[in-house]
């Protein structure tokens, strides 16, 4: 190993040690559970239209034509809108939850554990889709893979892999695109969060609540909620304070979130229900509801929570793998008789994400066995054993 590599490894180890030293056991378990629950939520979120149905979950439910599975699809799709806020808050909290924030060291670590693995994954999916599309064009398959591949060239690659001009081919990586841009602003975020926290959040919250587009970001969601996490990490308004303030209102928040979900599911009833501001409110209340839910599960022990804790170190791998893997698995499910029946669609709604999660973990375990260093790279710097930041 080179001297430079040794220095970087020691710096990374020091960074992880510092993060853990200032995060309580309750906070750590909260983050472990929240991270994997939100990733699983994204897997369900990206099921989109069920095979055998014509309902797209971002549209309003039509009771005259909707299937039972469509109601579940819509409910969980909108519920998972709180995933990006939750993951962004966690990212901001972890970045700034330390006595001394060494921006050079932390940004270097984010390059090696977030940016580079993401480029590798998104490039892999882009070129795999291109090859499958070219093959399918000759055989009448994989038409859904198209990403303007007839215009293949450097610009299309920059779009498809990095999201320069439009959503990347593996659509979940829009989150990484915005997160990396947010990392670049961390010195400014840290200065404002520590000196003018309330003013900073009020101004940024206004931008978030009134602007659905925020170039060069795909949306202001990541920047705003990352900054919320930064403020929580650098002021007295930390995890314990938030839980203590919210706990007396947990039932009110829960009922409010369910009501907002139902309103969005039937958004054709009023233009307000379909508006961007309504979606912002749903995200914000959903974040509060999930904070309270995850806090109620923190440090508890049962078989379901053990499974979630086991899966959590694979969160980045699952995040990077799940789409368009979902679509490839969908192709196989279409060969199962009865998949488009009422019962079949209901089973399919749960089976598709479950199969995707199972395949991703099996592949992750296999890769870790074959090449631990490669696995650690594509898993965002985590060994998959529960250690790492």
pLDDT of residue 5: 40
pLDDT of residue 210: 87
For 81, 91, 110, 181, 252, the CA distances from 280, given in Å and listed in that order, are 9, 19, 28, 21, 18
Query: Is the model's pTM score more than 0.95?
Result: no
pLDDT of residue 14: 40
CA–chain centroid gap for 1, Å, is 34
In angstroms, rounded to a whole number, what is the distance separating the alpha carbons of residues 326 and 278? 29
For 52, 207, 262, 306, 343, the CA distances from 78, given in Å and listed in that order, are 21, 22, 9, 26, 22
pLDDT of residue 260: 98
In angstroms, rounded to a whole number, what is the distance separating the alpha carbons of residues 334 and 128? 21
pLDDT of residue 18: 43
In angstroms, rounded to a whole number, what is the distance separating the alpha carbons of residues 238 and 221? 20
Regions of the chain short of the pLDDT cut 70: 1-22, 212, 386-389
pLDDT of residue 215: 86
| Cα-only R_g, the chain | 21
pLDDT of residue 25: 86
pLDDT of residue 1: 39
Task: Using alpha carbons, select from 109, 112, 107, 113 the residue that is nearest to residue 188.
Answer: 107
């Amino acid at each position: 190993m080179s001297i430079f590599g040794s220095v970087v490894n020691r710096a990374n180890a020091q960074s992880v040690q510092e993060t853990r030293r200032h995060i309580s056991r309750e906070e750590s378990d909260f983050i472990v559970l929240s991270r994997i629950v939100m990733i699983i939520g994204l897997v369900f979120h990206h099921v989109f239209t069920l095979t055998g149905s014509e309902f797209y979950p971002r549209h309003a439910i039509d009771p005259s034509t909707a299937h039972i599975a469509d109601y579940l699809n819509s409910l969980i799709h909108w519920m998972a809108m709180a995933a990006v806020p939750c993951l962004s808050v966690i990212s901001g909290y972890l970045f700034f939850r330390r006595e001394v924030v060494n921006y050079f060291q932390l940004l270097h670590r984010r390059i090696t554990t977030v940016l580079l693995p993401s480029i590798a994954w998104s490039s892999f999916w882009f070129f795999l889709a291109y090859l499958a599309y070219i093959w399918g064009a000759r055989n009448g398959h994989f038409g859904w893979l198209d990403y303007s591949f007839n215009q293949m060239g450097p610009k299309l690659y920059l779009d498809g892999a990095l999201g320069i001009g439009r959503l990347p081919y593996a659509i979940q990586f829009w989150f990484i695109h915005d997160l990396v841009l947010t990392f670049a602003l961390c010195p400014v975020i840290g200065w404002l969060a520590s000196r003018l926290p309330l003013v900073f959040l009020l101004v940024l919250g206004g931008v978030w609540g009134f602007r659905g587009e925020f170039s060069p970001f795909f949306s202001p969601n990541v920047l705003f909620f990352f900054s919320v996490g930064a403020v929580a990490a650098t002021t007295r308004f930390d995890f314990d304070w938030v839980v203590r303030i919210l706990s007396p209102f947990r039932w009110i928040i829960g009922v409010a979130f369910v009501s907002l979900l139902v309103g969005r599911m039937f958004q054709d009833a009023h233009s307000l229900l379909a508006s961007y501001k309504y979606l912002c409110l749903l995200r914000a209340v959903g974040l509060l509801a999930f904070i309270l839910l995850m806090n109620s599960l923190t440090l508890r022990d049962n078989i379901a929570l053990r499974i979630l804790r086991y899966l959590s170190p694979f969160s980045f791998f699952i995040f990077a793998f799940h789409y368009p893997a979902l679509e490839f698995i969908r192709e196989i499910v279409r060969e199962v008789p009865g998949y488009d029946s009422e019962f079949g669609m209901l089973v399919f709604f749960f089976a598709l994400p479950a199969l995707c999660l199972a395949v991703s973990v099996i592949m992750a375990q296999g890769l870790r066995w074959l090449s631990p260093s490669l696995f650690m790279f594509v898993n965002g710097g985590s060994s998959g054993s529960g250690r790492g930041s």
